[in-house]
Amino acid sequence: MPADKNGDIRMNEAFTRQWDALRDEADHALRRCLPAEDTPPAVIHRAMAYSVFAGGKRLRAVLFLAVADALGWRHPERARPAAAIELIHTYSLIHDDLPAMDDDDLRRGKPTSHKVFGEAMAILAGDALLTLAFQLLSRYPDDRGYVARRLAVIEEVARAAGTPAGMVAGQVLDITAPGQATGPDRLHEIHRLKTGAMIRVSVRAAALLAGADERTLARLSEYSEALGLAFQITDDILDETASPQALGKTPGKDRQQGKLTFPRLYGLEQSRNLAGRTVADGLAALDALGGAVDTAFLADIARFVLARGH
């Protein structure tokens, strides 16, 4: 699965078709769960929809649904919790882009929320998406049999999104010491928290709702941790090497802001090697699940993440 110079990946057609089908399933759920854009006060609902439908890959929702598929879990409402996780991801992007934070004008090639709706509305849109995510998680699947599982998922998602063990903690580390901390431990810690925790919980939430046993949950967790790390390494590589068009934002921004990145710490070649070894760890975790779980698509996702950075 080779990448062209812009960081786009020419995956084989079956992979792309499967990814798109799961992304469409998530998008359909997202459209149904967001307040209609003309519901008063309309401006906030427009702002929410603007960022949610700004053209992301839906990695987290696709991962959730791919795990559900792998475990044979096809509940008709399974895309709602996947959508909730995407809402949390979107809220984090809106708040990260604010002038007080990373001060980004572009995200995925489009003006960021505060450029379109103003800072106040961007802050509120993020707050509203985070809140709506927990509302959805409390309801879906809307079946008595899922009551205890839904609570377990809410707790894990909140932990992964918050502090000290989740995304908010990672963002704090990322913005409080740019350029100061230069060790690999610090870099891994930032990414484990800032992006890793939510990727991990995307996998675990699906497994928990599907009723996976402890052993399956443990192997899938290892897979998700490897995937999250590989994703961040390739993201850092793309920030250095991809064109602005492919990136949808100004490349080299992390470096300009003095942020610690994998290429800055290890160089490009060593970063690619690290991503390769990490993905191999993730594939090994999938293999350890044995033949009872169809992990082919999950393995392809890991290879896809790796291919992005080459």
Question: Which stretches of the chain bind its own copies, using CB under 8 A?
Answer: 35, 39-41, 43-45, 48, 91, 95, 98, 100-101, 118-121, 123-124, 126-128, 130-132, 134-135, 137-139, 144, 147-148, 150-152, 154-155, 158-159, 161-164, 166, 168-169, 171-173, 175-176
| Shortest separation between residue 78's beta carbon and its own copies, angstroms | 17
Nearer to its own copies, 35 or 276 (CB): 35
Q: Are strands 106-107 and 110-111 parallel, antiparallel or unpaired?
A: antiparallel
Using CA atoms, how far residue 42 sits from 51, 90, 227, in Å, is 15, 19, 38
Contacts of 13 (CB under 8 A, 6+ apart): none
Closer to its own copies at the Cβ: 20 or 155? 155
* Min separation Cβ 135 and its own copies, Å: 4
Nearest approach, Cβ of residue 12 and its own copies (Å): 39
Alpha helices of 53-183 — where are they, by DSSP H?
59-70, 79-96, 113-117, 119-139, 147-161, 167-176
Q: Which residue, 158 or 299, is less far from its own copies as judged by CB?
A: 158
Residue 123 Cα to chain centre, angstroms: 20
Q: Which three-class secondary structure string do you get for 235-282? A: HHHHHHHCCHHHHCCCCCHHHHCCCCCHHHHHCHHHHHHHHHHHHHHH
Please state, in angstroms and rounded to a whole number, the distance separating the CA atoms of residues 146 and 272. Answer: 41
- Comparing CB distances to its own copies, the nearer of 22 and 169 is 169
Q: How far is the CB of 196 from its own copies (least distance, A)?
A: 16
We find the least distance from the C-beta atom of residue 175 to its own copies, in angstroms, to be: 6
Closer residue to its own copies, CB minimum distance, 149 or 303? 149
Which C-beta is closer to its own copies: that of 23 or that of 95?
95
Of the candidates 240, 250, 245, 233, which has an alpha carbon nearest to the alpha carbon of residue 8?
245
The minimum distance between CB 32 and its own copies, in angstroms, equals 15
